[in-house]
Structure 1
Amino acid sequence: MTAFDVMLPYYGDVALMQAAVRSVLAQDDPDFRLTVVDDGREPGVPEWFAALGDDRVRYLRNERNLGITANFQRCVELSRADHVVIMGCDDLMHPGYLSAVRAALAAHPQAGMVQPGVEVIDGSGAVVSGLVDTTKRRLYAPSVQGRRLLGGEELATSVLRGNWLYFPSICWRGEALREVNFRDGLSVIQDLALVVDLLERGEQLLVDNTATVFQYRRHAVSESSVQAFSGTRFTEAERYFAEVAERMAARGWHRAAAAARFHSASRLHALTMLPGALRRGQRDGARRLARHAFGR
């Protein structure tokens, strides 16, 4: 059995997906299998994978569109390795990603999740540092020099205040991931929910900032996007934070419960979206965003 399963749930831009695949195949640690689960119908994609002729790559196309959460769940179910990466189909690995994760796990084998060093790129591949990621680093992410193991209420409180993790870059302990999987009914906040569920099981996160080994692609929010400023995404967030606050309180993790109730980063995100909704005349969206941002 290979050491790492790299799972790639795919839908969307073909060229970016192909770049992501090439970055996996360029790893200096060869002990991996890449599985691409195609949830779309872009022409020429199956033929491109067939032409690769690489036995480390498995390509599957869903018979029907499953949607993001169900496709992520299928990726988890298809995984078999001891450690699993669920990579974004437009993100990039540096050649040393897997070897860096392997070294981190060798130093801390008890870790259920490994968050390696990440840099953010835009749609064209340029390294950027926008408001969202600056806020993540300065307000929410813990200070880590080298490696640090986190878990329990400490980490639950931290990520419920503001989710500073870069989900597609995380390497997960396969057994725990498969037992928990993604929650049904979540399409926006499912990554945070998965982390919290694993923390409740006693899993720990290893933050490893010894090297930058992953590029996370953040696309600009288009002013022409009606859905982006509708505020509907925050309805799911409000439901999740209310539910998880009750769970944290029942567990006796009262600081984590308070962080969930206030969910400061989610409120700040809604506040930054509010001017765009107002400029577009989306009154209902602006009301939803204001309600989430100000707790009304």
Structure 2
Amino acid sequence: MSNPPRVTVLMSVFNGAAYLRDAIDSILTQSLTDFEFLIINDGSTDSSASIINTYSDPRITLINNDKNLGLISSLNIGITHSRGEFVARMDCDDISLPGRLSKQTEYLETHPTCTMVAVKCYFIDAVGKECGFWNDDCNFTSYDEIVQRLPRANCIAHPGVMIRRQTLFNYGYDPRQANSEDYDLWLRLIADGHRIDKLDEYLLKYRLSPLSVTSISNKHNPDLKNVRTKSRFVFDRLMSGRVNPFVARVFLNIFKDLYYFSGKLVVTYFIDSVAAFGRFIGSLLPFSNQSGLFFFFPFCHIGGAERVHVDIVTCFADLKPWVFFTKWSPRPGTLRSEFDRVARTFNWCLRLKYTYPLSAWLMAGFINKHPKAVVFGCNTLFFYKMLPYLSEDVKVIDLLHAFGGGSEDFSLPVIHHLDKRVVITSQTKMDLMHQYSVKGIDAALGERIELIENRVEIPHEYREKVVAEKLNILFVGRGSEEKRVHIAGRVAALCASRKIPVMVTMIGDVTESFAMSDRPFCQFTGELTDHTELRGYYERAHLLLLTSSREGFPMVIMEAMAQGVVPITTDVGGIPLHVKSGVTGILIDNSSNEDLIAEAMLAAIEKLTSNRDQLMTMSRNAYDYARVSFGGERFCSRYRSVLLADIESYRSGNAQG
């Protein structure tokens, strides 16, 4: 028999084909090469075995279980077959960084009193993207810190440990400690005086998969799982008469776990009781919404999203729906009058915010008393917080303008309450479907996503642009962070420095977003609430600048193209689906280097300034595309279909009865 390797890497696989190749490759490419790689195929029914068999590396030894025995039995089988001086654990969906085995081996060889050495890990999602850290792993590194923390909770990532083989052979994994076999082993080692250290380096990528053993077991009261693990450990120590201060601390922490668990139960019961009472009070309120249609939006001030919200509510003007604004609008008079014209509005931001959660319970109770009520919300946390308290016969729809604004994340806990989700671009729909896949969300919920594109008013015919010596350039929008208005200011300053004949006009509350040195090169109108005045600026403009770091598909591009204005824009969100670079506009790579964006926009402006014929051709193309794509003839019919399907017939039937 050949000389034993320094390290045995031990990995069990059960239906792990999705990430198996990444895991194997991360071990085979380690800087330390003197190891054997024991892979236990635990009765997999997917392609795991065939993936393993594609490798010809002699360091791999495959052991096939005839049937699925479970992780603990498979690891114990692997331990009996291991030959290395040290055993390194690995999971089939994780990734070890190249220096992991080398650094752990060196540590154990130079620290003979250490039995096991762990590494720190950071989390990755299903596609390998970093998504956070495990706090206990980060915060408890030294031996003393580990000993202090273990009686309360585990703080060591199992697939990142390396342990002396003879010790692991003597202890093994306890088959009675399913889903906590690692934590139980750490407790037994520390209780017997073994030293566990942790390298202060992140050498493991720990995948958060919804189908992993840890994820599945943690769905079922992790506090109780800890109670069970520690109770078994303490019981065994009492029965064998091996009690010491560490065991006593574990015993005392069992009561802490029970206290926290029972406290959560009491709080949950109390909240549920008060919520039920709040809904009951809400159902007794002596007034009602005859339309049964409720909208929840954050603001009523000027903005592209708010303009879309007005358009949506206008589609239901015949029903006179109720609209609630959940956040403070600094200039509520701007769009509030347009909402008031088609709906009954309530600017209750302070009441909803400062009386939450009572406000959510009362609102839910009030809505629940309306037969076949419909609730529609967008970009408001209050709306999502209220959903769990609505009755099942209330129809619920939300709208996502763009992916990446936050709504897609804080809506996750309640997406099963949503009957429909409306998106305005196919890209957002794809992003949501990908998120569902990564988070392990039922793919059937993706079938509830509806694409309804926004609309704008389109002139009946193209109006030829007047080409003067200077081209008119517009920026229209807010001064919020993602708009990166300062880049537009930088472009204006560069145009002036290179004597490019343009006039840059900034529409919106953006002055404070500008560098002082760039302000002299722009004209500022402030917010424009008069649509006729805004349309006049579009009619006189030749180019539109959009410098955002993220967008869905902004209204300003639709409005500009409808007037033959050529957009020069970063290629974010759904913009590339409609703006064809060199045809209907100019797309700029959304680089993290803002100077590169400014220079690219400057080059596009300079090109179109010197080639007016190309500019006029693109202007006509932009209008033609907008006329075909943004007219929105079906906008209202689509929204009415999504919100009122099966409800109008119900109401008309009741009216006849």
| TM-score w.r.t. length of structure 2 | 0.36
Q: 1:86-165 maps to which residues of 2 (within 5 A)?
A: 86-129=89-132, 133-138=134-139, 141=140, 144=141, 148-149=142-143, 155-165=146-156
* Cα displacement (A) at 1:52: 1.4
CA distance in 2, matches of 1:21, 1:269: 39
Asked if the contact 1:244/1:260 (under 8 Å) is kept, the reply is no
Distance 2:22 2:96 in 1: 10
Partner of 1:216: 206
- The match for 1:242 among 218, 231, 234 is 231
| Higher RCO (CA-CA < 8 Å; seq separation 6+) | 1
Question: Residue deviations 1:72-128, cap 9 Å, x none?
Answer: 221222212110012111111111111111221233122110012322222221222
**Which residue identity does 1:100 align to in structure 2?**
K
Residue of structure 2 equivalent to 1:294: none
2:1 pairs with 1:3: no
| 2:108 maps to amino acid | L
Segments of 5+ residues of structure 2 without an aligned counterpart are 273-387, 389-657
Distance 2:40 2:189 in 1: 24
Alignment pair present for 1:206 and 2:197: yes
> 1:189 is matched with which residue: 164, 170, 180?
180
Would the alpha carbon gap of residues 78 and 221 (structure 1) be closer, same or farther in structure 2, given more than 3 Å must change?
closer
Asked if structure 1 preserves the Cα contact closer than 8 Å seen for 2:119 and 2:203, the reply is yes
Cα displacement string for residues 27-51 of structure 1 (whole angstroms, at most 9, x for unaligned residues):
1110111111011333443333333
Once the two structures are superposed, what CA deviation does each residue of 1:120-153 show, in whole Å capped at 9, x if it has no partner?
22222122226xx225544xx2xx4xxx455xxx
User: How many Å apart are 1:179 and its aligned residue?
Assistant: 0.8
For residue 226 of structure 1, report the CA deviation from its aligned partner.
9.4
Structure 1 alignment gaps of length 5 or more: 280-296
Contact kept in structure 1, 2:23 and 2:94, CA below 8 Å? yes
Secondary structure, aligned partner of 2:54: helix
Q: Distance in 2 between matches of 1:23 and 1:187?
A: 27
1:226–1:25 distance in 2 versus 1, CA, 3 Å:
closer
CA distance in 2, matches of 1:169, 1:267: 31
Report the AA paired with residue 134 of structure 1: N
Aligned equivalent of 1:169: 160
Alpha carbons 1:100, 1:213 under 8 Å: kept: no
Contact 1:163-1:265 at 8 Å conserved across structures: no
Tell me, yes or no, if structure 1 residue 35 matches structure 2 residue 38. Answer: yes
Aligned to 1:262: 253
The 8 Å contact of residues 85 and 170 in structure 1, kept in 2 or not, is answered as yes
Taking a change above 3 Å as real, the CA distance of residues 227 and 92 of structure 1, as seen in their structure-2 partners, is: closer
Deviation at 1:166, TM superposition (A): 0.7
CA–CA separation in structure 1 for the residues paired with 2:22 and 2:76: 23
Judge conservation of contact 1:19–1:90 (CA < 8 Å) in 2. Answer: yes
For the pair shown, the structure with the greater C-alpha radius of gyration is 2
| CA 243–157 in structure 1, closer or farther in 2 if over 3 Å, else same | farther
Task: Tell me how far apart the structure 1 counterparts of residues 259 and 208 of structure 2 sit (CA, whole Å).
Answer: 20
Q: C-alpha offsets along residues 172-225 of structure 1, whole Å, 9 cap, x if unaligned? A: 10000001101121112111111122223332112211x322112223589xx9
What does 1:273-288 align with in structure 2 at a 5 Å threshold? Answer: none
Q: Which amino acid aligns with 2:98?
A: P
The residue correspondences of 1:43-54 to structure 2 (distance < 5 A) are 43-54=46-57
Counterpart amino acid of residue 216 in structure 1: Y
Counterpart position of 1:16: 19
Are the equivalent residues in 2 in contact too, given 1:122–1:219 (CA < 8 A)? yes
Which residue, 165, 170, 173 being the options, matches 1:179?
170
> How far apart, in 1, do the equivalents of 2:194 and 2:264 lie?
33
Distance verdict in 2 for CA 1:240–1:100, change over 3 Å: same
Q: What amino acid sits opposite 2:119 in the alignment? A: P
User: Structure 1 114/248 Cα, relative in aligned 2: closer, same or farther at 3 Å?
Assistant: farther
1: CA distance, partners of 2:165 / 2:261: 32
Contact 1:120 1:215 in 2 (8 A): yes
Which residue number in structure 2 is paired with residue 291 of structure 1?
none
**Aligned equivalents of 1:221 and 1:42: distance in 2?**
15
Change (3 A) 1:252 1:53: closer
Number of corresponding residues? 262
Distance 1:259 1:124, change over 3 A: same
Give the letter for the 1:16 counterpart.
Answer: Y
